[in-house]
Amino acid sequence: MFNLMSRKPVEMVAPENALPGRDQPIPTAKTHFVYDRPLTLDVPEGMEVAVFGMGCFWGVERMFWTLDGVWLTMVGYGAGYTPNPTYEEVCTGRTGHNELVRVVYDPAVISYDELLRVFWEGHDPTQGMRQGNDRGTQYRSGVYYVNDAQKAAAEASKDAFAPRLGAAGYGPVTTEIAEAGEFYMAEDYHQQYLAKNPNGYCGIGGTGVSCPIGTGA
């Protein structure tokens, strides 16, 4: 996200070649800059969690914190191998991690299908190991489910959206749908970055194709 058109690795590192990381979490923010709530992995009773990768996590997080029914958002790293990585380590391509946004939401106000629609329409899920000018394995499209219901919903939404993308001239969907593993919170300055820096870089852009999921269609 700092250096456009950077030539970062576009092949996943093998687990045995991943960086070793560290035992302790890296320091991060204590409070959500927008919501003024504790920035924690704890989930309040009645709330649920969704995890997405859509490219540079700065712009992705902003998409979700603006939604009614979202209680908390945070950016971090996951779907890789290195424990407690730093941003600089992730950028080497040697951790296997993706840039992720973890969303805590109230399912009585906003459904998981509605979050999936924002996910599919908010980026181009056909670009492989890149998103716009950001290239590398950390920018891959991904839905990381926390239960079987989310897995089924993610796969169904992909099946529904792919033909519409194809009809609009886009290639096959390259989105990774996988079980959510450990989520490592990113550094303080990454959290709610575009609220702190309103004119900051955001490389996220959708395809303009509407996704039928979450609309009642």
- pLDDT confidence of residue 118: 98
Contact status, residue 36 vs residue 54, Cβ threshold 8 Å: no
Other CB atoms within 10 A of residue 3 CB: 10
Active-site amino acid positions:
56
CA distance 29 to 133: 28
- In DSSP notation, 163-176 reads HHHHHTT------E
- pLDDT confidence of residue 15: 97
Q: Express each pLDDT in 128-137 by its tens digit.
A: 999 999 999 9
- pLDDT confidence of residue 214: 64
Position 90 pLDDT exceeds 70: yes
Q: Express each pLDDT in 149-203 by its tens digit.
A: 999 999 999 999 999 999 999 999 999 999 999 999 999 999 999 999 999 988 8
Burial class of 177 by CB neighbour count within 10 A (0 to 12, 13 to 18, 19+) = middle
**The two structure tokens encoding residue 104:** 């805590």
Angle between helices 112-122 and 148-167 (to 10 degrees): 40
Position 3 pLDDT exceeds 90: no
Q: Quick one: which of 99, 94, 76 has its CA closest to 21?
A: 94
Angle (CA) 56-165-63 rounded to 5° is 30
- pLDDT confidence of residue 137: 97
Contact status, residue 75 vs residue 183, Cβ threshold 8 Å: no
List the alpha helices (DSSP H) in the chain.
57-65, 87-91, 112-122, 148-167, 193-196
Q: Express each pLDDT in 31-86 by its tens digit.
A: 999 999 999 999 999 999 999 999 999 999 999 999 999 999 999 999 999 999 99
Using only C-alpha atoms, the chain has a radius of gyration, in whole angstroms, of 16
What's the pLDDT band for 16 if we cut at 50, 70, 90?
A: very high
- pLDDT confidence of residue 203: 84
Q: Quick one: which of 134, 126, 64 has its CA closest to 99?
A: 134
What's the pLDDT band for 7 if we cut at 50, 70, 90?
A: low
